[in-house]
Structure 1
């Protein structure tokens, strides 16, 4: 175990959190868009 933490550990962790958050946001937005398109299509059919 290291006694002192390098700053790169925090930089890598910050990038990992940012990339994961971005991917989650993209997935959530894409899913919401698809649901909205399906609802729009259902209304058009009626």
Structure 2
């Protein structure tokens, strides 16, 4: 049995948890998330 996990949903969950734990870092979490998604889409990871 092979477990296949996409990277984008995992990043979304991590970003959501970080925002819930530390709401003051919302701007940084969103910025890092958007940059990561852009890099993933460009390089097709």
Q: TM-score range by the shorter chain?
A: 0.3 to 0.5
Structure with bigger helix share is 1
Question: What TM-score results when the alignment is normalised by the length of structure 2?
Answer: 0.45
The structure with more radius of gyration? 1
Question: What TM-score results when the alignment is normalised by the length of structure 1?
Answer: 0.45
Larger RCO: Structure 1 or Structure 2 (Cα < 8 Å, ≥ 6 residues apart)? 2
